[in-house]
Structure 1
Amino acid sequence: MTHPTSRVRLAGAGDALREQRVAQQRRLHRHRAVNMATLAAAFSLFALYIAWLEVYGAGTVRSDELPMAVAIARGPEQADGVDRAGLVKRGEYLARAGNCMTCHTSDKTRPFAGGVAMGTPFGTIYTPNITPDPDTGIGQWSDAEFLRAMHEGIGKTGERLYPAFPYPSYTKVTERDVFAIRAYLNTIVPVHNTPPANELRFPFNQRWLMLFWNLFNFDEGRFVPDPKQSAEWNRGAYLVDGLAHCGECHTPRNFIQGLASRARFSGAVQAGWHAFNITPDKVSGIGNWNTADVVAYLSNGVAPGRAYAAGPMAKIIEDSTQYLSGEDLRSIAVYLRALPPVRGAEKQPRDTLGTPATAVTALRGAVLSGANGVNGAQLFIANCASCHRWTGEGVGASAPGAYPSLIHNSVTGAADPANLVMVILHGVSRKTQQAEVWMPSFGNQLTDDQIVALSNYVTAQFGYPRSSVSATQVAQLRKQPQ
């Protein structure tokens, strides 16, 4: 039995222990409160700094923004002695180079009226109307407001623009070129059209958050030529990194959708399509392409024996790059071929894979076999062979309007079969000055299982043999807005 005195001592020790624990909890709470207060104070100071930059930093005059340069670039409305027709013509060429048409035209009968749905991991963004309509377009925008949007990603009323509009690239474009583009846009037919509202989830629909995105992903400033490089290289850099914004599609993005600068031009996925590696790596990229290959591809969508444009790239060629001068196209090729090569997971170049089929007669009258009773070879004979030949070798060789070979083709030879599936689902439409290319879509005719069988047969026979796709992947690609 415990002595009463011992019980009193134990009780006292227990009370002391409890008081010690309470004191520790109080110190912990005070420590947390101090940390939270410090964090809040730091955030407040940071917010005040950003606000100060917004008020006082925007007025800084940069070397290419001197009043005389602005007056010359703005055209005859603000300066005498400027060739209005020449300015507009130059602006049209630059708007082509910047691919304004593709992104801002959902209906070809109403060019630049906006409404193109751009899917992002955070929701859908609809491109705005950039016709000179005063109510729904940019007819009431001043030149300074247009310049600020292009260079800083800030809209007419001071709202932050989303980087689906590639201002992180357009910021490199000179003022003179920006005002020439504006002069051209002022001459197009005004279209009264209000695109749908963006469909972004909270908190991504809060534009003020772009302040923080810009801190990590946006460097405002014009292109500076490299004196160590040739004029051709510098022109290519200006187009690729700035006006043509090639990296916006061909560079992977980080978790907040900023461009991953360490993997520039190494490839990325856009709306279900794989924009391939365009660095000069000889296995993963275009290191085996010569200047003529690049120029031909950007001119008519065909690099014979290598690649055939489809999807978003076909639209870019149709609306943009086919109109560029030979000099500019060669400059782009020179710059791309001088980039640091980036090696991917490929073991062999995509355009070196595949062999002709030889067993077509064995399929005649054969019983259906394969997954779910679907045979990819039979589907190919029934749907594809009339244009691509049952051997897969195509018709028309390297002519601009040829039916392309599926052998030594960068789409069928890719480890990622997404582009092949997207071509089957949506077909091909590409109109250039050399030819009009069209392939029907099979999305409404073939089931997901049939597309799986067809795609896997094509890649196994004519391209990368270990590439395969599942019905789940096909269903996901089918849902991608185009």
Structure 2
Amino acid sequence: MNRKSLFALSAVVVTAAAALVPVLWTGTDYLRNSSARAATPADQSELIKKGELLARAGDCVACHTVRGGKTFAGGLPMATPFGTLYTPNITPDDKYGIGKWTADDFYRAMHTGRSKDGSLLYPAFPFTSYTKVTRADSDAIYAYLRSVEPVSVPSRPHELKFPFNNRNLLIGWRTLFFREGEYKADPTKSVEWNRGAYLVEGLGHCAMCHTSINMMGGPVNSSAFAGGLIPLQNWYAPSLTSSEGGLGDWDIKEISSLLKTGVSERGAVFGPMADVVHNSLQYLSDEDIQAMATYLKTIPQKKEAPENMQMETSEAFGGELLQQGQKIYHDQCAKCHAENGLGMPPNFPPLANNQSIQMKSAVNPIRMVLNGGYPPSTQGNARPYGMPPFAQSLSNQEVAAVVTFIRMTWGNKGTPVSPQQVADLRSAPLD
């Protein structure tokens, strides 16, 4: 219940991308419709409760609910270069929702990417990850969705350009990028590691944001989790494995705190990831978070993500920006982040030796200076400290200057930022 497709057809959904889910580990003991015993009311209540947790933690509501609309009634527009996709109604309405779907129909959609009528689903619905979800967890989500209020609202048809409105074209895409199959535990790894892998690779579909997309809309698997620009959102999902932003030198406590509360001693999450933590990750159990962190720290990386084109400044102009940025930082930033860049974590994250500041892509720090923002409000951090926007008070060159200063000071090894990069992002959508 999220997003992805051909090029941006898949990319749009990368936004929500990343929500990791507290799935109850079932190993290979799946609930099959054909063999499961008749459920008692207590059994059904527990199944619905489990499904609600999965659906909420998986952030299904983010794609299937329009702001101010009925929950799960769909209709959320997802603009792509190929036209606009609209998310479907997944309430148990018999006419417009999934009221006539069986648990088998629902599992087929999750596992094979085919709708009740057998038609191919666009990979804006991340079935390439959901195929790894167990039948038991699929049944639980189905049971929960069947229990919510039915909404009699028709699903709006997609408005895709020719020939992308021909679903048969997806056959080729699926041949290249889709491998059907539930998650298989690695017997050489611990139970905790396998649980983390199941959460990250399955319903969590984290790779959809943190893996670059090629020109055909498929993941660059050789650079899995190595980061990449989220198309049409203009945010950069950092590498989880490389030297620029990997988790190798983070300890479990730091990773867990970031995922659970949105803040840690090493930094805070903003943008799309803040939504993920707010809607999803904060609801995981501590054991789920630890398992996920354990797995993420061990992800092997063959090579770095393909580089995004950066607008380079000359050495002389970069030096001018650095000087100008020093004064702006002193006047506007040092009160919270300190003159030495060490900040006052976790409320005001450090900028010195901050990997997210030094990445090859300067998209995220530019957007933060322009638009400001807050980490998510979570149970563990109910009143987060935010950053004010400077888009109205600083020019493109001034924003470029202060970001350049932050990226190149206190031992940071970033590169200068072009005012043109700032101009391009100033008009970018905020979500």
- Asked if 1:416 corresponds to 2:356, the answer is no
Mapped pair 1:278 → 2:227: no
Structure 1 residues 197 and 385: CA distance shift in structure 2, 3 A: farther
Q: CA deviation at 1:117?
A: 4.7
Q: Write the mapping of 1:180-199 to structure 2, written as runs, cut at 5 A.
A: 180-191=140-151, 198-199=158-159
Q: What's 1:479 paired with?
A: 428
What is the aligned partner in structure 2 of residue 388 from structure 1?
Answer: 337
Question: 1:323-359: per-residue Cα shift (whole Å, max 9, x none)?
Answer: 111111111122222221345389xxxxxxxxxxxxx
Q: Establish whether residue 455 from structure 1 lines up as the match of residue 403 from structure 2.
A: yes
Q: What CA RMSD, in Å, does the superposition of the two structures yield over aligned residues?
A: 3.2
For 1:431, the aligned partner's letter is S
Q: Which amino acid aligns with 1:315?
A: D
Report the TM-score when normalising by structure 2: 0.78
Match of 2:113 in 1: 153
What is the deviation of 1:379? 4.1
User: CA separation in 2, counterparts of 1:378 and 1:293?
Assistant: 32
Report the CA distance between 1:456 and its aligned residue: 2.1
Alignment of 1:104-143 (within 5 A): 104-107=64-67, 110-118=70-78, 120=80, 122-134=82-94, 136-143=96-103
SS at match of 1:243: coil
Identity of aligned residues (%): 40
Indicate if the aligned counterparts of 1:98 and 1:245 stay in contact, CA closer than 8 A.
no
Q: For the Cα contact (< 8 Å) 2:227–2:305, is it kept in 1?
A: no
Structure 2 residue 373 is matched with structure 1 residue 428 = yes
Distance 2:53 2:85 in 1: 26
Pair 1:198–1:285, CA change in 2 (3 A)? same
Structure 1 range deviating more: 145-154 or 382-391: 382-391
The SS at the match of 2:255 is helix
The one-letter code matched in structure 2 to 1:238 is Y
Please give the secondary structure, in 2, of the residue aligned with 1:274.
strand
Q: Is the 8 A contact 1:308 1:404 kept in 2?
A: yes
Shift of 1:216: 1.0
1:164 lines up with 2:113 in the alignment: no
Higher relative contact order (CA 8 A, sep 6+): 2
Question: 2: distance between equivalents of 1:194 and 1:382?
Answer: 54
What SS does the corresponding residue of 1:89 show, helix, strand or coil? helix
Q: Which residue of 1 aligns with 2:281?
A: 321
User: Structure 1 length as normaliser, TM-score?
Assistant: 0.71
1:316 and 1:284 mapped to 2: Cα distance?
A: 19
Alignment equivalent of 2:260, drawn from 299, 316, 319: 299
Q: Deviations over 1:42-72 (max 9, x none)?
A: xxxxxxxxxxxxxxxxxxxx99685434x45
AA at the equivalent of 1:91 = G
The C-alpha deviation readout for 1:213-261, integer Å capped at 9, x for no partner, is 1111111121122222221122111111111111111112222111222
If you compute each CA radius of gyration, which structure gives the higher value, 1 or 2?
1
Contact 1:170 1:243 in 2 (8 A): yes
Distance 1:180 1:269, change over 3 A: same
More helix by share: 1
Counterpart code for 1:242: G
**Structure 2: runs of 5+ lacking an equivalent:** 1-27, 307-318
Instruction: Please say if residues 297 and 303 of structure 1, whose CA atoms lie closer than 8 Å, have aligned partners that are also in contact.
Output: yes
User: Pick from 453, 456, 468: which aligns with 2:416?
Assistant: 468
Are 2:212 and 2:228, in contact at CA under 8 Å, matched by a contact in 1? yes
Is structure 2 residue 364 aligned with structure 1 residue 404?
no
Q: Which residues in structure 2 correspond to 1:153-302 (within 5 Å)?
A: 153-191=113-151, 198-270=158-230, 271-279=233-241, 281=242, 285-302=246-263
